[in-house]
Amino acid sequence: MPSFRWSAITSSGEVLHGVSEAADRTAVVDRLQRQGQIVLRAEPAGGRRPLSDIFRIEFGARRGLDRATLAEVTRELAIMLAAGQDLDRSLRFVVENAGNERARAVIGKVRDKVRDGSSLAAALSADPYSFSRLYVGLVRAGEAGGTLPATLDRLAALLERERSLKASLRAALIYPVVLVIAAIGSIVLLLDYVLPQFTPIFEQAGAQLPASTRVLMAVGQVVGAGLPWLMIAVAIAILLAKRALAAPQLRLKADRVLLRLPLAGPLLQETLAARLTRTLGTLLQNGIPLIAALAIVKEALGNAAARDAVEAASLEAKAGRGLARPLAASGVFPARTIQLLQLGEEAAQLAAMSLKAAEIHDEKAHLMVQRIVALLVPVITIAMGLAVAGIVGSLLTAMLSLNDLAV
């Protein structure tokens, strides 16, 4: 009989790991569910990872659904179930109306597993590249409580808000990035192509280039010869940094440094606070106990310092000392987050206040991005103008020196 390695969260919030023998993966999940545990992972034990999986992890490629497609699929499935359709027909509708081949293939496999007798959560957990632990945990809670349509509706809203926040951040940063690329391209063109055109002219005139022009030309030669090697060195440095950050202690230190950066730090705190409160509120709304919810929340944060803060707060909350104060002691999340969570605890409305806090942090993050972009654009423009003006000034100096020679 095959063995399966699993991880699950108990009702007290403790994360358990183990290996069990069963006929298939579904049997392991069902057995853990009957024990009142929320299954995070269940996969065949032993064996080596395929070479393709190793390369997928190293280079960050994904074979699952992207956030936009996942949100769309979840919303459609919630609508069909809320309309009274059974799960098989709802999944068939999603497959038939999926916007791309990958979505049809992924949801088609989920439907096949459900038709074979698997629960929806167990079918989803078979594809961790598409469906996160948070996603599977919420679906499992919805199935257990008989509120799957409402749960999927809340999950779709969660995904859409996360996608909206990320999309707004990326869209706001497009213009500054384009400016930086244009500035670098213009400077490299002037240094590597325009300036060298003056060398033959001065050699024919038997004159020497001005000192500023010679310096710029030397810089241009270095840039022209070293740019390919510089790009290779940057790529290698990125790969080495990713490998180094896989070590928990280094990752923790790096994430703490990010939170202390002048402009990026406060923005990162706001986005982490939005993710924490939105995920926590959604989990609590679906009937998941606080300690178990916190165990899932910390996996969704993506920042080691924030995960440590939530884990420490979970231990304090388990001891009956509340959630807000331990989070405040970590210094990771904004004071506004702590105050709203404390208010929710005192009023016994932690789920509602968490979701309200998420909306506030979303808006705050949007405003901060707009201010950062408003600051970066003129700074980049002025810096680019000064650099180009310096190079053009050097060219003019060289041309004027030729006129002096002619006189």
Q: What residue segments make up the domains of the chain, in order of their start?
A: 1-61, 161-407
The model's pTM: 0.65
Give residue 304's pLDDT band: very low, low, confident or very high (50, 70, 90).
Answer: confident
Give the strands of the sheet with 15-21, arranged side by side: 15-21, 3-9, 38-44
Residue 330 pLDDT = 84
The residues that bridge with 42 in the sheet, in sequence order, are 6
Residue with tokens 């993050």: 365
Amino acid at 65: L
**Contact (Cβ atoms closer than 8 angstroms) between residue 217 and residue 199:** yes
Q: Using an 8 Å Cβ cutoff, are 291 and 38 in contact?
A: no
Coil, helix or strand at residue 17: strand
Q: CA 135 to CA 300: how far, in whole Å?
A: 10
* Residue found under tokens 């183990």: 18
State pLDDT tens for residues 219-232.
777 766 777 787 88
- Please state, in angstroms and rounded to a whole number, the distance separating the CA atoms of residues 362 and 272: 10
The predicted pLDDT at position 47 comes to 47
Cβ partners under 8 Å of residue 223, min gap 6: 188, 191, 192
Residue closest to 192 by CA, chosen among 220, 230, 164: 220
Find the range with the poorest average confidence among 66-75, 185-194, 321-330.
185-194
Amino acid at 53: D
pLDDT category at 54 given cuts 50, 70, 90 is: very low
Dihedral sign from CA coordinates of 264, 267, 269, 271:
negative
Question: Which stretch, 25-29, 31-35, 60-64, 386-390, has highest mean pLDDT?
Answer: 386-390
Helix segments in 2-147, DSSP class H: 25-34, 51-59, 67-82, 87-96, 101-115, 120-125, 133-145
Tell which wins on pLDDT, 223 or 160: 160
More confident residue, 402 or 31: 31
What pLDDT is attached to residue 404?
Answer: 60
Spatial distance between the Cα atoms of 147 and 139, rounded to a whole number of angstroms: 9
* Averaged confidence pLDDT in the chain: 80
As a whole number of angstroms, the distance between CA 296 and CA 36 comes to: 16
Residue 230: in which H helix or E strand, if any? Answer: helix 211-244
Q: Which residues contact 79 (CB under 8 A, 6 or more apart)?
A: none
The encoded tokens of residue 238 equal 């990125």
Residue 390 token pair: 């310096």
Residue 223, burial from CB neighbour count under 10 angstroms (0-12, 13-18, 19+) = middle
Say which residue, 347 or 403, is predicted with more confidence: 347
Q: Quick one: pLDDT at residue 287?
A: 79
What residues contact residue 139 under an 8 Å CB cut-off, 6+ apart? 120, 121, 124, 148, 151, 152, 155
- What SS3 state is found at 35? coil
Q: Provide the pLDDT for residue 186.
A: 80
**CA 73 to centroid of chain Cα atoms:** 20
Residue 42's alpha-carbon distances to 8, 27, 31, 301, 406, in angstroms, are 9, 10, 12, 22, 84
pLDDT digits (tens, 9 = 90+) for 173-208: 788 888 888 888 888 787 777 777 777 776 776 666
Nearest residue to 138 (alpha-carbon basis) of 348, 286, 345, 355 = 286
How far, in Å, are 77, 152, 287, 356 from residue 142 at the CA level? 13, 8, 8, 22
CA gyration radius, the chain: 28
Q: What span, in angstroms and rounded, lies between the C-alpha atoms of 284 and 345?
A: 12
Give 52's contacts (C-beta < 8 A, 6+ positions apart): none
DSSP-derived secondary structure letter, 278: H
pLDDT score for 353: 92
Condensed to tens digits (0 to 9), the pLDDT of residues 365-402 reads 888 888 888 888 888 888 888 888 887 787 777 777 76
Q: Which of 142, 152, 137 is nearest to 32 (CA)?
A: 137
pLDDT of residue 170: 79
pLDDT tops 60 at residue 354: yes
**Percent of the chain predicted with pLDDT > 90:** 1
Helix 133-145 × helix 264-285 angle, to 10°:
20
Residue 308: pLDDT above 80? yes
